[in-house]
Structure 1
Amino acid sequence: MFARHFAFPEQHREFLEDANHVRAAIARVKQVEGVTDCERNEAWTPIRAAVKNFDARDWESEKRKR
């Protein structure tokens, strides 16, 4: 697995291998422990790329709920 496949590559957290994993990562971004707010904000970059790659369009509504 490559680091780019994770929302949090340094911690190898929130694997982004398909649309279901992407949706789960979106739901858990604020729950990941041991990361800074800056790292949380940076996690959205690979998540956005994965959303486009896997066509997980409902991510915006999930993000707004949190």
Structure 2
Amino acid sequence: MAKLDADERNHLTGANFAFPDERKMPIEDACHVRNAIARFDQVKYVSDHERDAAWRRIVAAARKFDVEVSEKDWRELGKS
């Protein structure tokens, strides 16, 4: 995965993050989308409502970048 330096990260818009208010989990390419899915359960201090919205953004980005997501909901992560 390409690592973002501080300047590159500052130029990302809220739409480029799963959690835009917190600027957590960039999802601007397929590699970052896969990483966001893998680390989704590691995000702290966000509500279930925020997680629901972030999951929708991740799934939309996954479709855009042709990343397969087998889970229908973030609550299914790690259950299979």
Same fold (TM over 0.5): yes
Divergent runs of 4+, >4 A: none
The count of aligned residue pairs is: 64
How does 1:1-66 map onto structure 2 within 5 Å? Answer: 1-57=12-68, 59-60=69-70, 64-66=76-78
With CA pairs under 8 Å and 6+ residues apart, which has the higher RCO, 1 or 2? 1
Q: By how many angstroms is 1:65 displaced?
A: 4.3
Q: Gapped runs of 5+ residues in structure 2?
A: 1-11
Percent identity (aligned): 42
Could you say which structure has the higher helix fraction?
Answer: 1
User: What's the RMSD between the two structures over aligned residues?
Assistant: 1.5
TM-score (norm 2): 0.71
Q: 1:8 touches 1:14 (CA, 8 Å); kept in 2? A: yes
Alignment match, 2:4: none
Larger Rg: 2
Q: Gapped runs of 5+ residues in structure 1?
A: none
